[in-house]
Amino acid sequence: MLLSNRVAIITGGARGIGKGIALKFVEEGCSPVIADILVQEGKKTAEELSKKGREAVFIQCDVTDSRQVQNMVDQVIEKFGKIDILVNDAGVGPLPKPITEVPEAEWDKILDINLKGVFLCCKAVVPHLKKNGYGKIISISSGAAISPPITHVHYSAAKAGILGLTFDLALELAPFKICVNAILPGPIRTEGWEGAVFPTPRADMEDIIAEIGKAIVPMQRMGTPEDIAGAALFLASDLSAYVTGDRIIVGGGFPLRHITIPPGVFK
């Protein structure tokens, strides 16, 4: 197993991409800690994971609160005695809007959850990784960090900030054999994505999502949490022991796009 006896904190692991990563990690021998504000879903996910043969726990945690983050990390150390892997997945995606319509409070909220939360979790976990002389930090950024498909100025800025944090921290921690990398998902179908795009359930949901995938993704399908989990497993395992300060785009070819050239241009 690639993660035998490893302990991983997965923020935002109650559902969606985080849950997909947790499921993959358990299959490879890891004990996952689900850190999330979604209490009922988090507990349910931890119970589901524990049935697969590895002990999984849920800890309620708001990643924007430094006290809650530190308390969560302290609980993990008390229970498992170590932390090997940190997956920063907790995040939120607002509805698209032009910059002139983004309230300052909304800007602060999106930056706090998507970027400050990554900083706080890294800050609390790094001392334990240094002590062990080993560790993997994986932060979930977004394809929007490098090629925004829609007007999401605060979301794109936060996800781009994760890349800067990743590169800087990778340089700082390389002497301690701690690898720090980022994953940039393309369009991924999750509960959160569906709820934001389709607030009201539709009878033709499957057909609509299939059409969206064909329209915007070169591989012509929406991604799944399992697609991201495969990349996360690589970065969390010793297969990537010499990979740090890097990013992996997992988007079925997104953000590559076909361009329609008007007839007669090359005549």
Mean pLDDT of 106-125: 98
Closest Cα partner for 56 from 90, 88, 19, 17? 19
Q: How far is CA 205 from CA 78, 95, 194, 201, 225, in A?
A: 45, 19, 9, 7, 18
- Split at pLDDT 50, 70, 90, the class of 191 is confident
User: Which is more confident, 54 or 85?
Assistant: 85
134 catalytic residue (yes or no)? no
Rounded average pLDDT over 186-190: 88
The band of 189, judged by pLDDT with boundaries at 50, 70 and 90, is confident
Q: 5-9, 63-67, 263-267: which range is least confident on average?
A: 263-267
Identify any residues that bridge with 57 across adjacent strands, giving them in sequence order.
Answer: 33
Q: How far is CA 14 from CA 82, 171, 265, in A?
A: 22, 31, 51
CB 30 within 8 A of CB 8: yes
| pLDDT at residue 94, rounded to an integer | 85
**CA dihedral of 137, 143, 144, 146, whole degrees rounded to 10:** 90
Distances (CA, A) of 225 to 41, 74, 164, 195: 16, 28, 24, 16
Q: Boundaries of CATH 3.40.50.720 in the chain?
A: 7-188+226-249
Q: Which of 11, 155, 185, 248 is catalytic?
A: 155
For 90-105, the pLDDT digits (tens) are: 999 888 899 999 999 9
Q: What's the token pair of residue 161? A: 């900030």
Could you report the per-residue pLDDT of 136-170, keeping only the tens digit for each? 999 999 999 999 878 889 999 999 999 999 999 99
Which of 14, 93, 22 minimizes the C-alpha distance to 60? 14
Select from 198, 159, 139 the least CA-distant residue to 18: 139
Q: Which residues pair with 188 in a beta bridge?
A: 223
- Please state which CATH class domain 7-188+226-249 belongs to: alpha beta
Strand ranges of the sheet holding 57-60, from the earlier edge strand across to the other edge: 57-60, 31-36, 7-11, 85-88, 135-140, 178-185, 246-250
Rounded to an integer, the average pLDDT of 99-124 is 97
